[in-house]
Amino acid sequence: MKPMRWLSIALFAGLLGWLALLEALARPHLGGWTPNLALAAALAVLARAEERDLWWLCVATLWARGIVAAEPAALVVAGTACVLWGAFVARGVFDLAGHAGRALAAALASLWLGGLSALSHLASEDGSSALAAAAGGDALRSALGTGIFALLLGGLLQAVPGLGPLARRAS
């Protein structure tokens, strides 16, 4: 792999990490409406990434989510892996790089992660339905916020300087 590509992957990891931290800073003010910034950015970039970069981009996405996702590690890995896999499959059928595609993909991905979190509360031994209900409500709000964020700023994220070598897939 060329050094420029490695640099792009490192920049991608850094960008996602910062977006995850920004999300954490915004959460006390926006509450459940806080968009899943790192996830939206990851999907926007992955929509145009080449097949050979996908594994590395997945790992970077996982690490970025690992910074702020306060769920058991297995749930973070499983949820994120499902989202990314779904995006890989979907990008062969739909245009995930376009406005509608990336907004819908980001909203659904956020909803899936929130839903999985709610399900995990229900499935846990103490079975906290209050937690599950709160998680479900927040998942809907967050999905909407993430979709809007991806719609408005997804294009900008795709054009972040330094990520060019990752976005060479023909649309």
The interface with other proteins within residues 98-127 (CB under 8 A) comprises 113-114, 116-121, 123-124, 126
Binding-site member from 11, 48, 104, 138 for other proteins (CB under 8 A): 138
Q: Which two tokens stand for residue 73?
A: 């590690």
Closest by alpha carbon to 16, among 62, 54, 48? 62
Question: Per CB under 8 A, does 72 bind other proteins?
Answer: yes
Residue type at position 122: L
Stretch touching other proteins by CB under 8 A, among 30-38, 42-50, 100-108, 159-167:
30-38
> Judged by CB under 8 A, does residue 158 bind other proteins?
no
Shortest CB 64 distance to other proteins, Å: 7
Residue 14 interacting with other proteins (CB under 8 A)? yes
Q: What three-state secondary structure class fits 128? A: coil
CA distances from 167 to 43, 112, 140, 148, 171 (A): 12, 25, 30, 22, 10
